[in-house]
Every structure is written in structure tokens, then in C-alpha cells.
Structure 1
């Protein structure tokens, strides 16, 4: 069944992300997050959903976090950081936001599959989360068949998006340890209107 092939592919990609974690980049990311006055997160489409999930967990840790594009998001300032999530690193809206953040003196962190992307060139720190994105792959059917390449069973940016979500949830666990936070502490910050 295709569903099994797709899940195996997703698990394999997550394993590759696990094996390629750059511990120095993680330490720099944690330093950026913990030293910033406010944290802004941005992503579009499904990467935007990943950004919102990450922002929620940062809020549960008691951090001052905002999702770019929400009506209550304030102006970004010098002591802040922007976490920009884009599989391709070429999404024009994300690049524009990163440039604005840089112009205003804040730090920019890119979470992307492409460490040489336009977003990475702007960023103070790039954390690479490997995963096929919607821009990958040969578009020409005949060339693709001749090379033995077939469309992935995980469509478009699924591998990046799922891997980024898992990676960022792992980062939350690391932050919990560094900040000496327990799950009970996070539950106190959880939405009570549900």
C-alpha cells in the first residue's frame, strides 16, 4: 500500500535529520532564543502551521513569542529574533520579512533544507532540516524516467514540514532541560478556554 511507503519515507527522512543534527548550531539557536527579548516566528502554508506549533510550545515555556501576520504582533526590535521556517528558503514573503528584521537590528534564524538559499544568506544562523521540498525534483517526465526518478510518495514539502515539526519539538525538549522546566510548568501556561 502507498500509505506504508509514504510513512516509511517520512520516518527515513526524520532519521536522516536526527543523524545530521549540528550540535553547535543547536547551541547557537538555544542561545539566540534564550537571550532574545521577544521571539517572532514566520512560515507560510504548512510551514506556517509548523511555525505556529513551535510558537505555542515556546509560549508554554513562558517565552515572549509572536507569530508574524497575526493581528496582535508588535514591531520587531533590536533585542528580538525572527525564526523563519521555509523548506526552500526562497519564499518571497519570508525573505522580505527576514530583510525587515535584519534592517531593524534583530537576529534572524533560518530553518530550511537549503543552507545556500536566499533566506540563509540573510540569516545570522541557518539550521538545516533536510527534506524534499516542493521545488525539488526533475519536472520533465521523460528525463525523470530516464534517471530512474519517480515522484515521491510524500508529496510537495511533506518531508521538510514533518521533519521540521519533529525537529522543533525535539528542540523544545532541549529547552525544557536548559530552562529547568517540567511538563507541569508548561501545563500551567496551556489554554484554559478549551
Structure 2
């Protein structure tokens, strides 16, 4: 197979993922963002990179959004939201964060392949995304891609869709977001 054929197949796989995402779950996440004072994002590996991208867009919208573990991240409080991106929902460091956030009384949301996971069970809001877990034999989603690539790509696109829905609900314009874009580059 040629590179462009792989790309076509990947895009077809991504197009199929939209039918597996619950609009109700997605709407709960958007409402959680609207009703929170500060929003914190966490993820490990490539899922963490997607979470960082989402955090950047929230900053562009004027939200107080932070990546857990960065030196400029403030403390989590009761009226805040922690969003965890984790395919497995079992990453030890993320499980600890979810438990700590629950102990503080903050809202916890997870975006995961596995809502029945430890993080999924700790979450107030859970959005299930399709993807192939590390053990591909256990997956009902067939993909040509290695490891959790389908989940991570879907995660990025889902987060972009959440941004668009948030913008619609808050009547935000893209032009306003540009005023918060980095200008020291």
C-alpha cells in the first residue's frame, strides 16, 4: 500500500468513529466546561499531547485552562473541572489525579476508550471514544493503525469539535480568539 492509500484508510477510519460518540456525553462535557471556574487537563503520552492542544484552544477562548504538571498550573479547587484523556483509563498517575480531584470536590471528566475503567468510574462525566486498546484482540474497532493511534486522532478531532460547540453556546467568534494567540514567536 502507498502512503496516500494509508492516509485514505486512516481518514475513513476516523470518519467511522463519529457514529460511536454519544452526543449526550459530549454535551455534558461542554456544559461542565461552561460551569467551571478553572479547567485542568491531564493525559499521558500522545493522549497528553492532544490534551495540551485542547488546553491551548481553551486559552484562546479566554478560559482559565491549565495542563496538570506545568510549572504555571495553579491549585485545583471545588468549582473546577479536571478532564483526563486516557485510552485505558488505568494509567496509575492519572488514576491518582482523578482520586485527588474527587477528594477535593472538583468535577472529574474522562475521555476514554474504557468508561468501565478506574478513571471512568471515578468520573462525573465520561465520554467514550472508539479506539483500539493496547490489546487489539479485545477491540471491536478494526484499524490498520498501530497501538492507540485511532483513539488519539479521534481525541484531537473530538476536542476540536467540543471547542466549536462551546463557541456556539457562548457565541464566541474565531476573530476574538486570535487576539489571545501568541505574539512573541
Q: Deviations over 1:110-158 (max 9, x none)?
A: 000112111101100110110113x22249xxxxxxxxxxx95311111
SS at match of 1:110: strand
Shift of the 35–83 alpha-carbon distance from structure 1 to 2, 3 Å rule, reads same
Equivalent residue runs for 1:1-194 within 5 Å: 1=1, 3-4=3-4, 6-133=6-133, 135-138=134-137, 153-194=144-185
Matched positions, count: 182
Gaps of 5+ in 2: none
Q: Please report the TM-score for the alignment, with normalisation by the length of structure 1.
A: 0.88
Gaps of 5+ in 1: 140-150
Q: Please report the TM-score for the alignment, with normalisation by the length of structure 2.
A: 0.92
SS at match of 1:63: coil
**Cα distance in 1, alignment partners of residues 144 and 14 from structure 2:** 15
Q: Which moved more, 1:79-88 or 1:4-13?
A: 4-13
Shift of the 121–2 alpha-carbon distance from structure 1 to 2, 3 Å rule, reads farther
**Cα distance in 2, alignment partners of residues 154 and 50 from structure 1:** 17
SS at match of 1:12: helix
Contact kept, 8 Å, 1:42 with 1:83, in 2: the verdict is yes
Aligned Cα RMSD in Å?
1.7
Higher CA-based Rg? 1
Q: Deviations over 1:66-106 (max 9, x none)?
A: 10010111111100010000011111111111111111100
